[in-house]
Amino acid sequence: MNNNPIGIFDSGIGGLTVAKAVSKLLPKEEIIYFGDTAHLPYGDKSTAAIQSYSIKICNLLLEKSCKIILIACNSASAAAFNLVKEYVGSKAIVLNVIDPAVEYIGEYYSQKKIGLIGTKRTVLSDVYNQKIVELNKSIELKSLATPLLAHIIEEGFATNRVGDEVVHQYLSDDILDDIEALILGCTHYPLIKDKIDSFYASQVEVIDSSEVVAISLKEKLETHNLLSDNKNTIHKFYVSDYTKSFEESTKIFFGEKVILKHYKLWE
Amino acid sequence: MNNNPIGIFDSGIGGLTVAKAVSKLLPKEEIIYFGDTAHLPYGDKSTAAIQSYSIKICNLLLEKSCKIILIACNSASAAAFNLVKEYVGSKAIVLNVIDPAVEYIGEYYSQKKIGLIGTKRTVLSDVYNQKIVELNKSIELKSLATPLLAHIIEEGFATNRVGDEVVHQYLSDDILDDIEALILGCTHYPLIKDKIDSFYASQVEVIDSSEVVAISLKEKLETHNLLSDNKNTIHKFYVSDYTKSFEESTKIFFGEKVILKHYKLWE
């Protein structure tokens, strides 16, 4: 089972930032990535819709004998993690991108005020807040939905004035006043981490969850004796709807261009 | 049959700008609107995906005895109009949002240079260009994909500096130099028509297709003797995925808040 693949899924190609962090930290692990581009973005969708999409994707990843299923999408982690964990049972270890960030906050920010930015779905779900309250460390979480950011990044405006202005407008919201750290609650956001850092003049720690997620995944594999010793790992990348433009964007998120295969999960 | 409803569909709620223009011009017509919010936005999706969604929606509109099916989405008009027309056959009259704008251009812009802005799907399809070439009036069309605009409008940034800056960056593209008119090739764009007008200092006619579409629909009803004499028209609005945030946005697009009903077409 050790050499079985790690399944990673997301609403689209944003989760490739997480896949990249995993592949960098664990080069011997084979990844099967599924981007649900037919339903992208999840941030606007209802909880029930995201849950049903997630279950269908998990069926595929289980069929492919994944030892781990990592939900590399904050909206899906918020809406569907408990359901997916229950559904998958002992067939695979199910991980999400929220718990590692929350654990990190718990470790370093006891009794502090922390910010979170993410999609509408992630913020409305209140999942980060509930998990932080459970830590019982008097951490105050302030959340703000920043739905335009992912689009800004996908459409190539992240590197110019528009990106600066949108980041500025969102982060100037009163609700984020006096925070000591900010969780990037969307897999797209690591790509504008430098802009956010510069908004805060590095006075606020900006937490890129893709890195903490990869570290937490590695620990999980070690604990369960599931580390792979694959010599040649060939990752596979599937999408539920294929367009040239998705494929071109993979380079932004994965650091190198990847070949997307159209998997007709909904036909 | 005259009092049967007019079916209008779109990838989401943007098509409500068209529904509004129709309802204003033809107050006695009953509208059944379907917004495919489960798959929104269509602008990024593949042709095949949009075609299959469109057929499924048409099945529903035919079941509801619609006399007309109006594809109120440029991406779907570009990707699926011919297929839907063939599929629906004589059961209803099928209209799109592209032909009326092209006819208007043909009438007033012979031998001129015209611009088009729209989603990636609409621009890549080359449908506007093909139809304009068929007019045989030596009209030169220059097209630019402006995918961020719809998101800017949906997320409430249309009325501030970010909206100005994005409009400015897109419309400053060399490809649109020296145009004499600009087609708004997306149902969201009428909401920023004033910004676009002001960019061009009203020296370029900005063509809001929702109005020409409503006029063309009226003519179609007259030609086929299909005008309704309903006393009380109650429009119905369905979406394939329901969220509070979709419902709140209806006001922006339809001018008044409407009650969205969740129709589980994909379950």
Q: Which two tokens stand for residue B244?
A: 């509070």
pLDDT of residue A32: 98
Is residue B267 pLDDT above 80, yes or no? no
The residue with greater pLDDT, B109 or B209, is B109
Return left, alpha or beta for B134; rule: phi > 0 is left, psi -120 to 50 is alpha, else beta. alpha
Is residue A256 pLDDT above 90, yes or no? no
Hey, are the CB atoms on A49 and B245 less than 8 Å from each other? no
CA distance B71 to chain A (A): 20
Hey, are the CB atoms on A37 and B44 less than 8 Å from each other? yes
**pLDDT above 90 as % of chain A:** 86
Residue A58 falls in the annotated catalytic set: no
Is residue B256 pLDDT above 90, yes or no? no
Is residue B232 pLDDT above 90, yes or no? no
Hey, are the CB atoms on A162 and B160 less than 8 Å from each other? no
Is residue A24 pLDDT above 90, yes or no? yes
pLDDT of residue A43: 87
Measured from the Cβ of residue B109, the count of other Cβ atoms closer than 10 Å reads: 22
Report the predicted TM-score, pTM, of the whole model to 2 decimal places.
0.89
CA distance B97 to chain A (A): 23
Mean pLDDT of A183-204: 95
Is residue A20 pLDDT above 90, yes or no? yes
**Same-fold call for A6-96+213-262 versus A99-210:** yes
Minimum-distance CB partner of B45 among A44, A155, A241: A241
Is residue A85 pLDDT above 80, yes or no? yes
CA distance A31 to chain B (A): 25
ipTM score of complex: 0.83
Which of A160, A204, A199 minimizes the C-alpha distance to A181?
A204
Decide if A143 contacts A116 (C-beta within 8 A): yes
pLDDT of residue A159: 86
Residue B227: pLDDT band with limits 50, 70, 90: very high
Q: Can you list the alpha helix ranges (DSSP code H) found in B64-108? A: 74-88, 99-108
**E strand residue ranges, chain B:** 6-10, 31-35, 68-71, 93-96, 113-118, 140-145, 181-185, 205-208, 236-239, 261-262
Beta pairing partners, A118: A145, A185
Per the document, the length of chain A is 267
Which sequence positions of B are flagged as catalytic?
73, 186
Is residue A267 pLDDT above 80, yes or no? no
pLDDT of residue A257: 83
Chain A residues whose CB is inside 8 A of the B248 CB are none
Minimum-distance CB partner of B165 among A40, A46, A165: A165
pLDDT of residue A214: 97
Hey, are the CB atoms on B161 and A166 less than 8 Å from each other? no
Distance of alpha carbon B255 from alpha carbon A58, whole angstroms = 41
Helix and strand totals (H; E) in chain B: 11, 10
Hey, are the CB atoms on A148 and B157 less than 8 Å from each other? yes
Is residue A71 pLDDT above 90, yes or no? yes
Chain A residues whose CB is inside 8 A of the B49 CB are 38, 241
Residue B164: pLDDT band with limits 50, 70, 90: very high
Minimum-distance CB partner of B148 among A37, A147, A155: A155
CATH of domain B6-96+213-262: 3.40.50.1860
Is residue A211 pLDDT above 80, yes or no? yes
Beta pairing partners, B239: B35, B262
Chain A residues whose CB is inside 8 A of the B38 CB are 39, 45, 49
Hey, are the CB atoms on A169 and B160 less than 8 Å from each other? yes
Is residue A236 pLDDT above 80, yes or no? yes
Is residue B169 pLDDT above 90, yes or no? yes
Is residue B241 pLDDT above 80, yes or no? yes
Chain B residues whose CB is inside 8 A of the A44 CB are 37, 40, 243, 245-246
Is residue B156 pLDDT above 90, yes or no? no
What value does the mean pLDDT of chain A take?
95
Mean pLDDT of A78-82: 95
Q: What is the DSSP letter of A41?
A: -
Hey, are the CB atoms on B40 and A44 less than 8 Å from each other? yes
Minimum-distance CB partner of B165 among A147, A162, A241: A162
Q: What angle do CA B259, B191, B153 make, to 5 degrees?
A: 80
A18, A57, A61, A73: which is the annotated catalytic residue? Answer: A73
Listed in sequence order, the residues at least 6 apart from B51 whose beta carbon sits closer than 8 Å to its beta carbon are: B79, B80, B83
The residue with greater pLDDT, B267 or A170, is A170
Chain B residues whose CB is inside 8 A of the A160 CB are 169
CATH of domain B99-210: 3.40.50.1860
Q: Using one digit for the tens of pLDDT, what is the confidence trace for A44-54?
A: 899 999 999 99
Mean pLDDT of B28-34: 97
CA distance B157 to chain A (A): 9
Minimum-distance CB partner of A44 among B157, B243, B267: B243
Q: Which two tokens stand for residue A109?
A: 């920010």
CA distance B119 to chain A (A): 11
**pLDDT above 70 as % of chain B:** 100
Least confident of A16-30, A53-67, B154-168: B154-168
The domains of chain B are located at 6-96+213-262, 99-210
The residue with greater pLDDT, A266 or A123, is A123
Mean pLDDT of B69-86: 96
Chain A residues whose CB is inside 8 A of the B169 CB are 157, 160, 162
Hey, are the CB atoms on A241 and B52 less than 8 Å from each other? no
